[in-house]
Amino acid sequence: MRPLTFTLLATLLLLTFPARAGNDWMPPVRDATVQKECGTCHMAFQPGFLPARSWTRMMGSLSDHFGEDASLPDDKTEIIRNYLTANAGDVVNWGRAARYMQWVAPGGTPQRITENPDFLRKHRFPESVWKNPKVVTKSNCVACHSGAERGLYE
């Protein structure tokens, strides 16, 4: 019975974390409030792309969220802030998150994932790619990475 239990556990782990060992995996957003509130306007970005202090700053200025008013009730803001900061890149600090954090200046509070040198290095495309109606913006990860919401950036 023991070998069967081990085999089932190993299979379950492989199915649950298909690319965790890979450098392109980022832990996906698993919080329902974050998925609903952030995902209404854009993909709910994995918190590992930014340090905790960036998420704190971003959640404190939702009335001007990249030119839009994304204000939320205080209770939802707190839930989202807590989730983002607990799972931020400087907290997780492995895989793709670690690669992104190596480019963040000490004490820096970057706000745009798309300005990180690791992102820029992997996304050197002609301007026509970004103007494609299926892409439109550099932050539309799912346009090119079908597994982006699951944390897979192949």
| Residue 136 clears pLDDT 70, i.e. is over it | yes
**pTM higher than 0.85, yes or no?**
no
Over range 26-34, report the average pLDDT: 95
Q: How far apart are CA 13 and CA 54, in angstroms?
A: 31
Q: Which of 13-17, 32-36, 70-74, 111-115 has the lowest mean pLDDT?
A: 13-17
| Residue 1 clears pLDDT 90, i.e. is over it | no
Confidence band of 93 (pLDDT split at 50, 70, 90): confident
Backbone angles phi, psi at 68, to 5 degrees: -120, 150
